[in-house]
Amino acid sequence: QLTLASERTNQIDIGSGLNLSPTTDNSPYFFDFKSGIESNLLILLAGVALISLIFFRPAFRRNKLKRSPFFFIGLGLGFMLIEISLLQKFTLLLGHPTRSFIVILIALLTGGGLGSLVGGWPKFRFKKKYLPLVFISILTIVDFVLIETILYNVRISSLANRILVSFVLLVPLGFFMGMPFPHGLKLLKQKKKGNVVPLMWGLNGTMSIGGSVLAVIISMKIGTSYALALGGLIYLLLFLFSPLYEKNWKVSP
């Protein structure tokens, strides 16, 4: 009977154009009855693309930039995909969206600030400058695989313990996420292109908006875990293509 009911629900879903699938912890959007993507989210994505084309593309051509924009695009998208996904995941543990937002933001920004600071110390420099991108991918995979089990096992602990667990899980991730962006800016300066640093800041911020919208779309349609996985994949791709940035990240003479 359950199978028959499920089949009938799927038939109604397809026939009516409505999303009648049950909500889950991975996609808890009980109010989302539309099968497609919300028009306001598409408008936001289109706005990000339009701003990038109008304001950034001419500047990149004028400065004859080659590969550096893609690095900062990836950082903006990947960071927000991971952050927005974790906000949703940790709401299950911390019990309220506002509390989750505060804890996640403090943990990631604290870790990111420490990573940016420590990454500039001569004694702490990695032989491979882009190695933090690998650590980000690994920690994201660990979160993707184990986070629900971990959160389930500590769900009945005191609020203080749950916040502590959140910091233990998130500060190391934030630590490594704070390293690539300053390194990219430093590399631009070494290539004597410090004048384009504001452009990269702007591009990264714009892509962060796009990444947050994309994270919401993916979470609503296929699940938060997939948005988290995509963020980790972007960081992994940035690492795999790092030889191009390290050797050829320069401008045309």
Inside any domain, residue 3: no
Inside any domain, residue 46: no
CB atoms near residue 148 (< 10 Å): 16
Query: Region 221-236: what's the mean pLDDT?
Result: 90
* pTM as predicted: 0.80
225 or 128, greater pLDDT = 225
Angstrom distance (rounded) from CA 118 to CA 99: 28
Angstrom distance (rounded) from CA 165 to CA 8: 42
Inside any domain, residue 158: yes
The number of folded domains in the chain is 1
85-110, pLDDT tens digit by residue?
A: 998 888 888 888 888 899 999 999 99
Read off the pLDDT band of 251 (50, 70, 90): very low
Inside any domain, residue 210: yes
Q: Residue 252: what pLDDT? A: 41
CB atoms near residue 27 (< 10 Å): 21
Q: Residue 81: what pLDDT? A: 94
27-47, pLDDT tens digit by residue?
A: 666 556 566 667 777 787 888
Inside any domain, residue 73: yes
Percent of the chain exceeding pLDDT 90 equals 22
Angstrom distance (rounded) from CA 101 to CA 98: 5
What amino acid is encoded at 133 in this protein? L
Q: Residue 245: what pLDDT? A: 63
Query: Region 41-68: what's the mean pLDDT?
Result: 74
141-150, pLDDT tens digit by residue?
A: 888 888 878 8
Check: CB of residue 136 under 8 Å from CB of residue 111. no
Inside any domain, residue 185: yes
Q: Residue 148: what pLDDT? A: 79
Handedness of CA 158, 160, 164, 170 (dihedral sign): positive
133 lies in which domain range?
Answer: 69-248
Query: Region 174-183: what's the mean pLDDT?
Result: 90
What amino acid is encoded at 147 in this protein? I
Check: CB of residue 136 under 8 Å from CB of residue 232. yes
Q: Residue 89: what pLDDT? A: 86
Inside any domain, residue 51: no
Query: Region 172-181: what's the mean pLDDT?
Result: 92
What amino acid is encoded at 22 in this protein? P
Inside any domain, residue 24: no
CATH code of the domain containing 181: 1.20.1250
